[in-house]
Structure 1
Amino acid sequence: MKARVTVHRDFRISSIDERLYSAFIEHMGRAIYSGIYEPDHPQADANGFRKDVLKFVQDLRIPAIRYPGGNFVSAYNWEDGIGPKDKRPVRLDLAWRSKETNQVGIDDFAIWAEQAGIEMMLAVNLGSRGLEEARNFLEYVNFPGGTQWSDLRRSNGRKDPYGVKMWCLGNEMDGPWQIGHKVATEYGRLANETAKAFKGFDPTIEAVVCGSSNDRMPTYPEWEREVLEECYENVDYISLHKYFGNKSKDTLNYFGKIEETGRYIQTIGGVIDYVKSKKRAKNDVHICFDEWNVWYHIREDDSRRIKEWDWPEAPPLLEENYNFEDALFVAGLLNEFIRRSDRVRIACIAQLVNVIAPIRAEKGGPAWRQTIYYPYQFASLYGRGDALNVAVDAPTYDCSVADDVCYLDVAGVHDKAAGTLTLFVLNRHLTETADLDVSLTGFGSPSLAEHLSMEGYGLNDTNGPDKPDNVVPGMGTGVGVEDGQLKGKLAPLSYHVLRLSVG
């Protein structure tokens, strides 16, 4: 398969917001309890957090993390998670039909986030609660002292405010399953008033309003229009969510969902532009794609189990075992976010530990990195800088979700400060090697500094506690720079990170 690629230094899409590589963690299943927090574990630190999991998190260099939900937040009382642990109430979590012990709350999670080097993006409950409770939460978290809620934080052991700048105004409020579900205009008005209050407190706060839960919702994309018409001037982002799967066992159609996601982003971008023009607004609203991941392997089984169980504490839930095919898909989806980085400024993999996550951890046992960990890590480490408009000329295919899907998926990032050009390349052809020929224009005398690859695995190969390194990246071969052009061969069903020194 011949594949010609053209990369020009000046053909720039956007400067990438590093928060494109953010994460999400919810009080759900074992994401928190026996995920990041397990006081009785041999690897627990003085605060009860697992050091083995923390190390894997730190190695991802995650810029921001969305917390505490998710569906969980829409019936959550944040006050339950503060103060002495032995005084905190046990509550029923209506979202996931389980008990919440509240042993981890905002002050505890903030300790973990600081250890991990991650900025917090907090969600407020606009389902069962409203503006007043959200305002109190903001005061507790961000005001220095001398008021009821800020002094309570200080009495709980945290003198300095957390200075959280990103705030999510509820979660999936378009979904009938959501506690406190609202129609678009009702939610939009509440979100507008909440955003006004938050920006009255601090005009540098960034507010994220709820968009569609997915692009299959019957209200999509009308929901976005109606919500934004209520709150456009006071918000900074609109959130999108989308989960992916391959129940049909059609690999090429699965990979085609990357193109489908591009259409989703493009559509909402158009809605944003329409509302901005209609309102004659001066501010820009971007997309926060704050829930995305593969979720299908055990989804139906978990849905049945939730209905049957009797309010357990931190039950195993949504613990997907990701395979090599999923890693290739995640690599391609991250490429799409890079290409759409003019619109998508923040994106959060959902979730981070145990629950549909790149990191798994057994209670009392080991932690390991799933297959999808590696493309996520590579994008986070090397995908910072300017996204470039890469032209690809290669064979294409049609599938049920998209037509004219290119077998070769390429995203390019130019880091001027570091003097590097990174190409993230996915060959999604099932059987054919890509004969790669990349024209590099405007980069002086480039040289290949590093070639990382994931290739040669079966699509169903996974990692696990007994085989944590069964599917891992290695050093790639067969690619080099000749006469200023990057040339080589890329195996079918393979992913490559090609890092060039470009001066």
Structure 2
Amino acid sequence: MQAKLTIDPAFRVGPVRRRTFGSFVEHLGRCVYTGIYEPSHPSADEQGFRGDVLDLVREMGVSTVRYPGGNFVSGYRWEDGIGPVEDRPKRLDLAWHSLEPNEVGTDEFMAWAKKAGIEPMMAINLGTRGVLEAMDIVEYCNVPGGSDWAEQRRANGADEPYRVKMWCLGNEMDGPWQMGHKTPEEYGRIATEAARAMRMIDPDVELVACGSSSRSMPTFGEWERIVLTEAYDQVDMISAHAYYWEKESGLQEFLVSAEDMDRFIDQVGATIDTVAAARKTDKRIGISFDEWNVWYLDRDPSKPPSGDDWPVAPRLLEDNYSVADAVVVGNLLISLLRHTDRVWSANQAQLVNVIAPIMAEPGGPAWKQTTFHPFALTSANASGEVLRVIVDGPTIESTQFGSVQALDAVATWADGEASVFVVNRHADEAVDASITLPAGCSIKEAVTLHHDDHNWKASAEDDSSVGVTPNGTAAIDGGTLTVTLPPISWTMITLSTQ
């Protein structure tokens, strides 16, 4: 099977945005406790943060982290997580049927974020709370001093304000599972009022309204239209959430999951434009794809405790990812980059232990899942401008999406260097690709993630025997790069350019 790809610096989509490489830390399962925070761990620092996890977060190239939820935030009282730890109350977390000890809160997260070198993205509770609480937490985080909440922050050890830029106005308020679930009219109104009040305290905040929890929601499209009609002037982005897993439709259908993300982004973008046209405004609204990943929702690890069992940090949503899962994650990153004109921020959910690229055993090692590798390499090598790649090659007949290309690709182009990211989504066949490049390009590196057993999964005992390896088939002759792409594979080729 053969395919032709064309790359040209003139095919620009927009800039590579560092915020595309965000992640997510929610008070869910072991993401916080025995994930990023475990005071008794041999690698823990003086604040209780696991040093081995911090090292992997830095290696992964995470740019931003969304906190503290997620479904958790819709029942969260942020004040419970500040002040002396010994005085903080323990609360029932209804979202995940767990007990929240509040040992980690806003100040601890900000300290961890600084150590990790990431930008915090905070979410506020617009489910069971409202405008006043939104005002209070912005005052606590962003006002230098003089006011009650700012002085409490200073008394708690943070003399300088955190100056948090990005704020999510609630979480998945379109979902009936959400505490404080609202109609789009109800949510649009409270989001607008919270946003207006927050900007009175800090005019520089960037605010994200809740969009749809998936493209399959019955209210999708109409939710975005109604919310933005109300809140357009007060927000900067609207969110999108999507999770993918291998269903009864089979492996091949799962491998083309990024087609759904492409359509999701295009349709939300069209709705944004429709509302802008109706309002006769030139203001642009972006998309914050602040939850995305592979997540096997139907498996036992995704089932929370029940009854009188309210454990602290239970093992929840601890999916163990295969090579095929990692290829899909790499493809979703391609989709996000390809839509950089629309997607201004994105967060893979989540960072540690919970549907995560990083795993950490209590008192034991931290290790990399297969999904770690495409994220880390894309984050490290995508820079400059995103280029649309023209693909002409074999197709796959998808039950959901019709005829789609077996190969999917995107490129980035900066002064002196370029990167090509490509997946072969065919479940059985390798593809020989020829890539037309501008003159003066030479190969710096060509690597592929692939294994004959696409179900291979990493573990605490072995997270390195299968990973990204050099692809020796890559070569340039004149202005054409040729490379063989195995089935179910993710490949990155970095180039020197003149």
Tell me if both proteins adopt one fold, taking TM over 0.5 as the criterion. yes
Moved more, 430-439 or 28-37: 430-439
Tell whether the 8 Å contact from 2:303 to 2:316 is kept in structure 1 after alignment. no
Aligned to 1:461: 456
- 2:19 & 2:269 partners in 1: Cα distance? 19
SS in 2 for 1:430: coil
- 1:269 & 1:44 partners in 2: Cα distance? 44
Taking only the aligned residue pairs, the percentage that are identical comes to 46
- 1:376 & 1:306 partners in 2: Cα distance? 31
- 1:364 & 1:483 partners in 2: Cα distance? 54
Q: Does 1:476 align with 2:475?
A: no
SS in 1 for 2:134: helix
- 1:357 & 1:142 partners in 2: Cα distance? 30
Tell whether the 8 Å contact from 1:386 to 1:414 is kept in structure 2 after alignment. yes
Question: 1:9-408 alignment to 2 at 5 Å?
Answer: 9-248=9-248, 250-296=250-296, 299-302=298-301, 304-307=303-306, 310-408=309-407
Could you tell me how far 1:308 is from its partner in structure 2?
5.0
Could you tell me how far 1:63 is from its partner in structure 2?
1.3
Could you tell me how far 1:304 is from its partner in structure 2?
4.3
Tell whether the 8 Å contact from 2:353 to 2:359 is kept in structure 1 after alignment. yes
Over 3 Å counting, the alpha-carbon distance change for 1:104 and 1:14 in structure 2 is same
Tell whether the 8 Å contact from 1:257 to 1:402 is kept in structure 2 after alignment. no
Could you tell me how far 1:166 is from its partner in structure 2?
0.3
Could you tell me how far 1:309 is from its partner in structure 2?
6.2
Could you tell me how far 1:247 is from its partner in structure 2?
2.4
Moved more, 17-26 or 376-385: 376-385
Q: How many residues align?
A: 498
Aligned residue type for 1:486:
L
Aligned residue type for 1:459:
H
- 1:331 & 1:303 partners in 2: Cα distance? 23
Aligned to 2:444: 449
- 2:107 & 2:399 partners in 1: Cα distance? 47
Could you tell me how far 1:201 is from its partner in structure 2?
2.2
How big is each residue's C-alpha offset from its partner over 1:286-305, in whole Å with a ceiling of 9 and x where there is no partner?
10000001111x64424544
Tell whether the 8 Å contact from 1:16 to 1:345 is kept in structure 2 after alignment. no
Tell whether the 8 Å contact from 1:257 to 1:401 is kept in structure 2 after alignment. no
SS in 2 for 1:414: strand
- 2:109 & 2:269 partners in 1: Cα distance? 33
1:486 to 471, 481, 484: 481
- 1:106 & 1:305 partners in 2: Cα distance? 25
Tell whether the 8 Å contact from 1:64 to 1:119 is kept in structure 2 after alignment. yes
Q: Does 1:430 align with 2:427?
A: yes
Tell whether the 8 Å contact from 1:34 to 1:363 is kept in structure 2 after alignment. yes
How big is each residue's C-alpha offset from its partner over 1:334-356, in whole Å with a ceiling of 9 and x where there is no partner?
11111111111111000000000
SS in 2 for 1:488: strand
Tell whether the 8 Å contact from 2:301 to 2:319 is kept in structure 1 after alignment. no
- 2:30 & 2:162 partners in 1: Cα distance? 26
- 2:144 & 2:104 partners in 1: Cα distance? 22
- 2:493 & 2:153 partners in 1: Cα distance? 47
Could you tell me how far 1:249 is from its partner in structure 2?
6.5
- 1:305 & 1:157 partners in 2: Cα distance? 35
Tell whether the 8 Å contact from 1:7 to 1:440 is kept in structure 2 after alignment. yes
Could you tell me how far 1:251 is from its partner in structure 2?
1.8
Root-mean-square deviation over aligned CA pairs: 1.2
Aligned residue type for 1:361:
A
How big is each residue's C-alpha offset from its partner over 1:413-457, in whole Å with a ceiling of 9 and x where there is no partner?
1123xx11100011122332221111113xx41100111211234
Show structure 1 runs of 5+ residues with no match: none
- 2:230 & 2:209 partners in 1: Cα distance? 11
Could you tell me how far 1:463 is from its partner in structure 2?
0.5
Tell whether the 8 Å contact from 1:188 to 1:230 is kept in structure 2 after alignment. yes
- 1:222 & 1:306 partners in 2: Cα distance? 34
- 2:401 & 2:247 partners in 1: Cα distance? 17
Tell whether the 8 Å contact from 2:166 to 2:206 is kept in structure 1 after alignment. yes
TM-score, normalised to structure 1, is 0.97
TM-score, normalised to structure 2, is 0.98
- 1:29 & 1:96 partners in 2: Cα distance? 8
Question: Which runs of structure 1 show a deviation greater than 6 angstroms over 4 or more consecutive aligned residues?
Answer: none
- 2:40 & 2:273 partners in 1: Cα distance? 52
Tell whether the 8 Å contact from 1:299 to 1:318 is kept in structure 2 after alignment. no
- 1:219 & 1:408 partners in 2: Cα distance? 32
Tell whether the 8 Å contact from 1:38 to 1:49 is kept in structure 2 after alignment. yes
- 1:305 & 1:182 partners in 2: Cα distance? 24
- 1:303 & 1:365 partners in 2: Cα distance? 23
SS in 2 for 1:59: helix
Could you tell me how far 1:203 is from its partner in structure 2?
2.3
- 1:427 & 1:229 partners in 2: Cα distance? 40
